[in-house]
Structure 1
Amino acid sequence: MIRKRVQRLAVFILIGIAILIIRLVQIQLMETKSFSDRDINLIEASVAQRSQEMILDNGRGKFYDRNDKPLTYETVPSLVLFPFLKNMNWDVEQLANIIGVPTKEITAALETSKEPFVLGGKNPIQLTDEQMEAINELQIPGVFAVHKQFERKTTPAAQLIGILGENPEQLKERYPDKDIPLNTLIGITGLQKSFDEFLLQEENTKLVYHVDGKGGPLFGIDVKYVDPSNPFYPVKINTTIDMEIQNEAEKIADKHKISKGGIVLLDIETNSILALVSRPNIDEKDPYANDGAKNLMVTAQIPGSVFKTVIAAAAIDNSLNNPDRVFDCSKTIRGTEDKVYDHGPLNFTDSFAVSCNYTFGTLAQELMEKDETIIETYASKLGLMDNVGWSGDVFHFKDFHQLADEEKGQVFLTNEERSDANFVAQTGIGQYNVRITPLGAANMMATIARGGKKEMVRAVSSIEYKNGSTLYSFPQESLGGDEISPYTAMKLQQLLREVVVNENGTGRLMQNLPYDVAGKSGTAQTYQKEDMQYENKWFVGYFPFDKPKYAMAIVKLDVPSEEGSVTPIYQDMVNYLYQYDHQ
C-alpha cells in the first residue's frame, strides 16, 4: 500500500518536473521574443531589469523641410543624469560650475528621479560644445553630455505631417508578415500614414548603463552608446515645406483668429506645397476633438463663387462670353429684385469681377442645355474633381498617394439634379452639392497661371537614406485628363485680374499690394442656426500676375455671415512673401 503511494507520488513529481522543463523551454528558447498573449519580449525585459537607459532617438524616420531643417524634432545638446548618482559620492559642484546651475538644483532633480533624465526636462539646459567636452572629460558614471532629439512643442504643418500612435490591431493588419513589436508607433494620419512603411522605426539610439540589484552602477562596465548599424535606416522624408514661410503663415492665421479653415500656398514652378495651415489646432490630449487632427485643406468644402471660374471657362469655350451681352445684375439668381446687391446691367467680364450670381446662374443653365455633363467636364479640366496630390507607382507600392487623406470634389450627386433649372443655377454659383478642396482650388489657380497645364501637387520631393543617398525622388507629373486650352487660360487670367483692378471688384482691396494679384473670392452659405447664417469665406488666386510664382487659397469655414472676408489675411501673406523674396 505504502509502495503504491510512493510510486504515485513519484509519478506526480516526474510530471511536475516535466511540466516545469517544458515551461522553461518555452520561456528560454521558444517564446523569448513573444511570450504570452501580450507578446512580451523576454530578452528585452530581462535586460531592462538589470540596466537603465536613455533613448536619444526612437529610430523612426523623420521629416525635413526643403532647406533640410527638421520639422518634427529638434536636436538639443543636453545633460543626462542617471538616478543612482543620488546614492554615490561624486563631484556635483564641479558639474554645477561647468553648466552654471546651482548644486541644489541638480541634487533636487536627482532625489525625485527613478529613471535616467535630461536636466531641465522638456525645457532642457542647452549646452555649448565646450561644456559638453568638459562634462564628458569628468568621466563620472551616470553623467553624460549628449545630443538628444526632442519632439517639437508645435509641429509645423501639423495636420499635413500627421499624428502617430500605438495601434496593435492596425499594425498587424498593415504588416502581417513583419515581426514588429506591438508597441511600435505607426502613422495614423497625414504623411506619417502615407509614408509609414518607409518610416517604421528601427532600433533606438540610446545610452545603456548596467546596474546591480539595488539600481547602483556595475563599476568596470562602461556606458554603452547603442546606435543602429544599418547605414540606410531610418530614412529622411524631404518635404516641400519651407519652415520659415510655414511659421509665418501659422502666425498670420492665428493673428486673424481662423478657428476653422486655413491657408495653402503652392510654388507654381514646381507645383509643390510651400506652406499649409489647418485650423483648429491639434489638441495633444485629444487629437480627434473638434476636427483638430483633420487636414481641412484636403477636405472637400462648399466653394461658393470660387466655382464661377469653372462656369467662366466653359462659357468662354462655348462663346457665351460676348462682351456686348448684358446681364441684369440687379436681380437675384431666381430673377427677383436683389435688395442686397444692385449692380445694374453688366457684361460678362464685369459680372465676374463683382461676382454677379444672376449672370453665372443663367450661364450654368445655358451650358447644361448644350451638354448635361459640361460643368463636371470643366471642373475636371481645372483639376477640381479628382485627387490632385502626387500619386503613382513607387517600387512595390501600386498607386501610392502622398496625401492619403485627400478627398475628391463633386458637382452633382444625381441625374435628377441636372434637369432641375433651379438646382443647376445654384450649382453654377458653387452652392448645393458642389464641393472642392482648398488644395484643389489653389491648384486650379496654378493651372490657370501656367496657361492651362495641369500638374499633380507634391508635398514630398524625395526619400533619402541615412547615408545621404536617394531612395526615391518624386518627379513633377501631369495630372492627366483633358486640360483647358492656352487661350481659355489667358482669358481666365484676365478675368481673375479684373476681380482686383475693377473699382467694384470683390478683390479691389488688394490693388496696392507689392505683388499684383489675380484671383476670385467666394462666399458660400453652409447652414443657418436660429437667426444666424453661417458661411464659408474664400479667396483663391495667384501672384505676381505677370510672372506667376505663388498660388494660394485661404478659407474660413462655417463663420457667421457678419464676419469679415479673408482679404486681410491674403494681404498679410502677399506682403510677407514679397519681403521674403526680397530679403
Structure 2
Amino acid sequence: MIELQNKRIKIFIIFLFSIFILLILMLIYRMLFVSNKLTTTMANQQLGVVKTVYPRGIFLDRNGIKITGNVKSVDNINYIDYIDPSVAKNIIGDVKIDNKDTTTNAVKGVSGLNKVYNDILSQSQYPFYIMGIRDARSNILSSGNAFIKSVSDPADTQITLTINSNLQSEAEKLLQKYVDEKGYKNIALVLSDVKTGEVLVLASKGSYLNSAVISYQPGSVFKIITAGCALEAGLIKLDSTFNCTGKVTLDGNEKTVCKNGGHGKITLPQAFAVSCNSTFYAINKMLNITDKNGNITGNMALNKMAELNIGTYNNPIKNSFILNYDYSYDFVTDKIYNQKGTFNAALGQGDIQLMPITVNKIISAIANNGIIKEPVLVKEINIMGLKQNIQQNEDQEKTIFSEKTCKDLQVLLRQVCVSGTASGAKTVNKYAAGKTGTAENVDNKSCHGWFTGYFPYDNPKYAMTVLVEEGKSSYNAVKIYNDMLDIILKYDKDIN
C-alpha cells in the first residue's frame, strides 16, 4: 500500500516537473521569437490618432502674416493647420478631404483661391498623423507621449495676397455685427488701392457666397457713368441747369419721380448730390443714339460699358477677376427701345447688374483721373524659393474717361458727401467723395443699398464700396462705409 502511494507521488512530481519544463520552454520561445510582435501589439493598443494633418501650401497677407498655416492645439498637442484660414474664409475657399486617401490627392480645393491654385498648393503634400499614447479611457496621457507618424516632406509653397489681414478681420467683424443686429441678408465690402488696384479687403457676411463677386442692380450708382458720358461728349457742363418738376412722362404715362413737387431749377452738382431722377432721365435721353426716324439705335452709356468689357443681358462676359462664380456676370441691357428703357438705364435699373468689385474698379478709376487698374488679389507666388510676382501689364491700361471729365466727376462726387445723400455721415462728410445708390429688387423685396467712393477726396488713396443686399436704402450702406472709414483712419495715420 505504501509502495503504491509512493509511486503515485512520484508520478505527480514528474507531471508537475514536466509542466514546469514546458512553461519554461514556452517562455523562452516567446522571448526569442514573439517578443517584438507582442510589444508592438501592446503599444498599438495604447496608441491612437490624435490628429490627421494635411500639409498644403499656405496663404500670407501683404505683410507676410499667415492666413493659413497657423499653429493650433488638440489635447495640448500643437500642430500646424494648413486648411482653416484665420480670416478671409470666402476668399481662401473650401477644400474637400478624402480621409481614406494617403496621397497628394487627399485634399482638393473646391472653391475660392483653394480651387484656383489647387495644383500648386497640393503638390508633394502627403497626410501625416499625430499619434498619442492613451490610458484605459482613451485619454492622451500627456503631450510628452505624443509623436508624429508617417511624416511627409511638404514643399515650401506660399501664396502672398494683397489683402491686409488686420483690415480684413476688422471688416468681417463689422459686417457680422450689422448682419446680427439688423438682420441684413448679405453685406459686401471692397477696399482697394487707387494707384495699384490691389485689393486690401474683400469681405462678405450673411451668406456662404462672397457677395463682392455677385452682381446686383447698381441703382443710382450708375449715374456716375451717365454723368461721365454726358460730360465727355460735351452735352452737359458743371454749370448746366435743369428743371425738376418731380414728374416725367414715359411713353405717354406720367410717373412721379420726386416728392413735394420736385427740386425745381437745379444745377448739375446739386442734381448729382441729391440723386435727382428727372435730371438724369433728361441726361440719358441726350445719350441716346437715334436714326433719321427717331428710333433709338444705341446709347453712349451702354457703349461705355462695352468698352469696359462688360457684356449685355443676352451676351454676358465673365468678369476677369480671379474670384468668380460661373453664374454671376456684370451686364447691361442689350438695347434701349423706348422712354421707359431710357429712364431705367439712367437709374441703373432693369437689365443692368454689376458686382461690387466692378463698381469699386469704376470709382477707383475716376479717383485715379481716369486710369483703370484691374483689381488684383494675388501679389506673389513662392514655390520652394522660386518667386513669381503678379503684376498688371502697364501697356494694356485703359482709361474710363478723360482726365478733365474725371476731375468734373470728382467735383460731383464730393458734393454728395458735403451736401447730398451721404452728407449725414460725419467721417464720410469730412474725408470722402462718392455716390449712393438704392436699387429696386425683385418680387417686392427690400431694395439694395449702395455706397461707393474714395478717400481722401483731395488726394485719393483708397477706393471703397459697400453693398447691403435688401438693405432698404443707401443710408445703411453709408453708415457701414462710415464705420469702416473710422477703422481705416486708426491704421493709416497719414490720412489725417
Q: Structure 1-normalised TM-score?
A: 0.65
Q: Secondary structure at the match of 1:430?
A: coil
1:362 maps to which residue? 282
Which structure 2 residues correspond to residues 89-128 of structure 1 after superposition, within 5 A? Answer: 118-119=74-75, 125=76
Give the corresponding residue for 1:474: 390
TM-superposed deviation, 1:155:
4.5
CA distance 1:444–1:301, shift in 2 (3 Å): same
Secondary structure (helix, strand or coil) at the match of 2:393 reads: coil
Q: 1:250 aligns with which of 172, 177, 186?
A: 172
Instruction: Spell out the pairing of 1:560-571 with structure 2 (5 A cutoff).
Output: 560=472, 564-571=475-482
Q: What does 1:286-435 correspond to in 2, within 5 Å?
A: 292-323=207-238, 325-334=240-249, 336-338=255-257, 340=259, 342-369=262-289, 372-381=298-307, 389=320, 402-405=322-325, 407-413=328-334, 415=335, 418-435=336-353
Report how far residue 404 of structure 1 moved. Answer: 3.8
Structure 2 Cα separation of the partners of residues 512 and 242 of structure 1 = 22
Checking the alignment, whether the CA contact within 8 Å between 2:103 and 2:127 is kept in structure 1 is: no
Give the corresponding residue for 2:153.
229
Q: 85, 88, 108: which one pairs with 1:157?
A: 88
1:556 and 2:473 matched = no
Q: Aligned-pair RMSD on alpha carbons?
A: 3.4
Residues 431/566 of structure 1: CA separation in 2 closer, same or farther (3 Å cut): same
C-alpha separation in 1, matches of 2:464 and 2:97: 35
SS at match of 1:551: strand
Q: How far apart, in 2, do the equivalents of 1:521 and 1:382 lie?
A: 21
How far the C-alpha of 1:72 sits from its partner, in A, is 3.4
Q: Distance in 1 between matches of 2:177 and 2:153?
A: 46
Secondary structure of the corresponding residue to residue 576 of structure 1: helix
| Residue equivalent to 1:43 | none
Closer, same or farther: CA 473–333 of 1 in aligned 2, 3 Å: farther
Report the AA paired with residue 389 of structure 2: S
Structure 1 unaligned blocks of 5 or more:
1-47, 79-117, 120-124, 126-144, 169-178, 216-221, 281-291, 391-401
CA contact (8 A) 1:74 1:150 kept: yes
Q: Residue 546 of structure 1 aligns to which amino acid in structure 2? A: D
Q: Per the alignment, do residues 332 and 186 of structure 1 end up closer, same or farther by CA in structure 2, a change over 3 Å counting?
A: farther
Aligned to 1:457: 375
Distance in 1 between residues matched to 2:288 and 2:98, nearest whole Å: 49
Residue from 170, 178, 192 that aligns with 2:114? 192
* Structure 1 residues 329 and 254: alpha-carbon distance in aligned structure 2, compared to 1, 3 A threshold: farther
Alpha-carbon distance change, 229 to 162 in structure 1, aligned in 2, over 3 angstroms: closer
Q: 1:266 to 1:61 in 2, by over 3 A?
A: same
Q: Secondary structure at the match of 2:467?
A: strand
Greater radius of gyration (CA)? 2
Distance 1:580 1:387 in 2: 35
**CA offsets, 1:164-207, max 9 Å, x none?**
12589xxxxxxxxxx99596222222111111121125113444
Give 1:130-209 correspondences, 5 Å limit.
Answer: 146-149=78-81, 152=84, 155-166=86-97, 184-200=106-122, 202-207=125-130
Q: Are residues 539 and 146 of structure 1, via their aligned partners in 2, closer, same or farther at CA, if it must alter by over 3 Å? A: closer
- Picking from 539, 543, 555, the partner of 2:451 is 539
Tell me the alpha carbon deviations over residues 517-561 of structure 1, each in whole angstroms, 9 at most, x when there is no partner.
0100000111344xxx52011000000012211111101112446
| Closer, same or farther: CA 527–224 of 1 in aligned 2, 3 Å | closer
- Specify whether residues 572 and 379 from structure 1 end up closer, same or farther in structure 2 by C-alpha distance, changes over 3 A only: same
Which of 274, 295, 306 is the aligned partner of 2:200? 274
How far residue 297 of structure 1 moved from its aligned partner, in angstroms, is 0.5
* CA distance 1:339–1:547, change in 2 (3 Å): closer
Cα offsets for 1:336-393 (capped at 9, x unmatched): 4445263222122221111111111222222112661522222245675566655xxx
The answer to whether the Cα contact below 8 Å between 1:499 and 1:520 also exists between their aligned partners in 2 is yes
Residues 70-115 of structure 1 deviation map (CA, whole Å, 9 limit, x = unaligned): 2235203x5xxxxxxxxxxxxxxxxxxxxxxxxxxxxxxxxxxxxx
Q: Which of 410, 424, 436 is equivalent to 2:354?
A: 436
The letter of the residue matching 2:354 is: I
CA distance in 2, matches of 1:539, 1:577: 17
1:483 and 1:514 map into 2 onto residues whose CA distance is: 26
In 2, distance between residues paired with 1:309 and 1:506? 14
SS at match of 2:447: strand
Residue aligning to 2:414: 497
Distance 2:299 2:45 in 1: 69
Q: Distance in 2 between matches of 1:344 and 1:365?
A: 19
1:47-58 counterparts in 2 under 5 A?
A: 52-55=48-51, 57-58=53-54
The 1:404/1:541 distance shift into structure 2, 3 A limit, reads same
Pick aligned residue for 1:523 from 419, 424, 438: 438
**How far apart, CA to CA, are the structure 1 residues paired with 2:52 and 2:175?**
34
Name the aligned partner's letter for residue 252 of structure 1. Answer: L
Q: What is the identity, as a one-letter code, of the residue corresponding to 2:269?
A: T
Distance 2:258 2:371 in 1: 41
Which range moves more in the overlay, 356-365 or 517-526?
A: 356-365
SS of residue in 2 equivalent to 1:369: strand
Kept in 1: contact 2:422–2:428 (CA 8 A): no
Aligned length: 420
Aligned to 1:60: 56
1:477 to partner: Cα distance: 3.4
Secondary structure of 1:264 counterpart: strand
Tell me how far 1:460 sits from its aligned partner: 0.9
Unaligned runs of 5+ in 2: 1-43, 139-145, 291-296, 312-316
CA distance in 2, matches of 1:73, 1:540: 34
**Cα distance between partner residues in 2 of 1:339 and 1:354:** 10
Q: Distance in 1 between matches of 2:114 and 2:102?
A: 17
What TM-score do the two structures reach when normalised by structure 2? 0.75
Q: Offset at 1:327?
A: 2.1
One-letter code aligned to 1:444:
I
Distance 1:242 1:507 in 2: 27
Contact map agreement 2:220 2:348 (CA 8 A) in 1: yes
> C-alpha displacement at 1:421, in angstroms?
2.1
Pick closer, same or farther for the CA change 1:186–1:150 going to 2, 3 Å.
closer
Aligned to 1:105: none
For the 8 Å contact 1:382–1:444, the answer to whether it is kept is no
